[in-house]
Amino acid sequence: MRVRRVDQRTSVGSVALRAPVLTASGTAGHGTELGAYLDLAELGAVVVKSLAAEPWPGNPAPRVHPTPAGMLNSVGLQGPGVDAWRRQDLPALVERGATVVASIWGRSVAEYAAAARLLAGAEGVVAVEVNVSCPNLEDRSRMFAHSASATAEAVSAAVEASGLPCWAKLSPNVPDLVEIAGAALTAGAEALVLVNTVLGMAIDPARRRYRLGSGPSGGGLSGPAIRSVAVRAVHDCRAAFPTAGIVGVGGVCRGVDAAELLVAGADAVEVGTATFADPRAPAVVLHQLVRWCRRHRVAAVRDLVGAVHADRPVIPAPRAARTATTTSSPTASSMAAATQTPPPAGAASSPAGTASSPAGTAVPAASAPGVRPGEPATTGTGASVDGDLVVRLKEALDTIDRRVAVQAEHMARLNAALAALTAALSAPEPGEPPP
């Protein structure tokens, strides 16, 4: 069966989305900044930069620093405040046809409530992302996200004040993320956004100085380096909360990265740091994901969600190599035997009509990976010419995807380095000579 059209629709909690790829808060601006590069209405949603009830200046420069597989940032949640954002930025987003998720933050439960209250009734806003990776001034500046009770209080305040579906954006920097996630859901969150940045730091050894303006507070690591952290968080929370909405975020640069998070249990994914290298990244990832689904015979994105947890086979990729079936043609049999890849040394052979599992256990051919129920199996060059073409095309597309990902990482490091240099030159420390 060839998939010609992939159903991209998904839902996060009660919020229906046209597509499974969203922007990540903090990387897409407050308004239509990305509108010059992609169709905002094509995405599942635009998640805007986190907003407080009042304007906030953020941290001193420099604010970003490149890492080998991502970047560190200490922007400090700079923003115009919810009221100014509603007047200045939201109308343009609505006009572009964007589905909008507003992200909020605060330094106290009252500040979360105030920010959420200002969003009540906002046209075009379908959900509130509650960013709890913020210092709680009422608890010795401990992060809300590091405490189950503090997370619950912030989420509950946002739910009651906004009247909108709330998503809790959680930090991976905790001993038991599932416990924090459970507290957020119990407090009224419809969904979990997993994960925020990982705590990190960069120091210039030659100057004996911190590389970020936040000094000893360090910054948040994002990009491909944390993708496996996000996958684990999504996987574990989906296992613990089968019916909760989950949005995966962290290091998504390619369509296959998005597919991995979906299979781990995410209903949708957000693209963040990759946008700094290419502002078209969210649309590129979405297009690659759809293409990946076609190649792997996935008719609907929802079929991927949580598939690794399900007791059902995953739809196989269109591989040419299949298990041998009975044939009356000695020539075909000998050709197939000659072209099959030999098993690893010591591997047990399987009788005709069976396939070897990774452990060497024979399983029926009908249930072997790559064989669809009721479909005759072939092997080696016994596959059809069309099948061989599909395999070669898939391999070529996979190679292109890998090269695009490498180029995106190179561009991310270059852009981050330029941004850090610009910030450093524009805000030199008093009395300090240039490096």
Mean pLDDT over residues 232-259, rounded? 98
- How far apart (Å, rounded) are the C-alpha atoms in residues 50 and 177? 22
Strand partners, 251: none
Annotated active-site residue 134? The verdict is yes
**Which tokens in the block code for residue 66?**
């490149």
Strand partners, 21: 269
Convert the pLDDT of each residue in 31-65 to its tens digit.
Answer: 999 999 999 999 999 999 999 999 999 999 999 99
Task: Indicate the range of 52-56, 177-181, 290-294, 391-395 predicted with least confidence.
Answer: 391-395
- How far apart (Å, rounded) are the C-alpha atoms in residues 193 and 212? 26
Return the closest-CA partner of residue 72 out of 182, 183, 218. Answer: 218
What are the domain boundaries of the chain?
A: 10-311+408-426
If you classify domain 10-311+408-426 with CATH, what class do you get? alpha beta
Contacts of 286 (CB under 8 A, 6+ apart): 8, 19, 20, 21, 42, 43, 255, 258
Convert the pLDDT of each residue in 300-320 to its tens digit.
Answer: 999 999 999 986 444 444 343
The sheet carrying 64-67 orders its strands as 64-67, 70-73, 219-222, 198-200
Task: Indicate the range of 127-141, 165-179, 223-237, 381-395 predicted with least confidence.
Answer: 381-395
Cβ distance 19 to 290 under 8 Å? Answer: no
Residue tagged active-site, from 134, 166, 253, 293: 134
The model's pTM is: 0.74
CB atoms closer than 10 angstroms to residue 137? 12
pLDDT, residue 141, reads 83
